[in-house]
Amino acid sequence: MKIQIEHPKGTFRADLSKPVDISLSLINGPDNVNAWYVPPPSIIPVKDGDFTGSVAEGASTNFNNIFFNPHAHGTHTECVGHISKEFRSVNRELKTFFFLARLVTVAPETKGDDRVITMEMLSSALNEDIPEALVIRTLPNDHSKRSRQYSHSNPPYLEEKAAKWIAEKGIEHLLVDLPSVDKEKDDGKLLAHKAFWNYPDDPRPGTTITEFIFVPDATEDGLYLLNLQIASFENDAAPSKPVLYKLAFE
Backbone angles phi, psi at 117, to 5 degrees: -100, 125
Q: Residue 102: enclosing H or E segment and its boundaries?
A: strand 98-106
Q: What is the pLDDT of residues 110-120, one digit of tens each?
A: 999 999 999 99
Per CATH, which fold does 2-26+74-249 belong to?
A: Glucose Oxidase; domain 1 (3.50.30)
pLDDT the model gives residue 52: 98
pLDDT per residue as tens digits for the range 149-166: 999 999 999 999 999 999
- As a whole number, the mean pLDDT across the chain is 97
Confidence of residue 215 (pLDDT cuts 50, 70, 90): very high
In 20-115, which residue ranges form alpha helices assigned H by DSSP?
Answer: 90-93
Whole-prediction pTM value?
A: 0.97
Beta bridge partners of 101: 133, 224
pLDDT at 217: 97
Confidence of residue 134 (pLDDT cuts 50, 70, 90): very high
Contact residues for 85 (Cβ-Cβ < 8 A; gap 6+): none
**Contact assessment for residue 191 and residue 180, using Cβ atoms and an 8 Å cutoff:** no
| Residue 250, pLDDT above cutoff 80 | no
β-partners of residue 229 are 241
List, in sequence order, every residue forming a beta bridge with 114; answer none if it has no partner: 111
Q: What is the pLDDT of residues 36-83, one digit of tens each?
A: 999 999 999 999 999 999 999 999 999 999 999 999 999 999 999 999
Sequence letter at residue 237: A
Q: In this structure, which amino acid lies at residue 149?
A: Q
Digit-coded pLDDT (tens) for 161-212: 999 999 999 999 999 999 999 999 999 999 999 999 999 999 999 999 999 9
End-to-end C-alpha distance for the chain, whole angstroms: 16
How many other CB atoms are there within 10 angstroms of residue 105's CB atom?
A: 17
DSSP state of 24: P
Q: At what angle do helices 160-168 and 119-126 cross, to 10 degrees?
A: 40
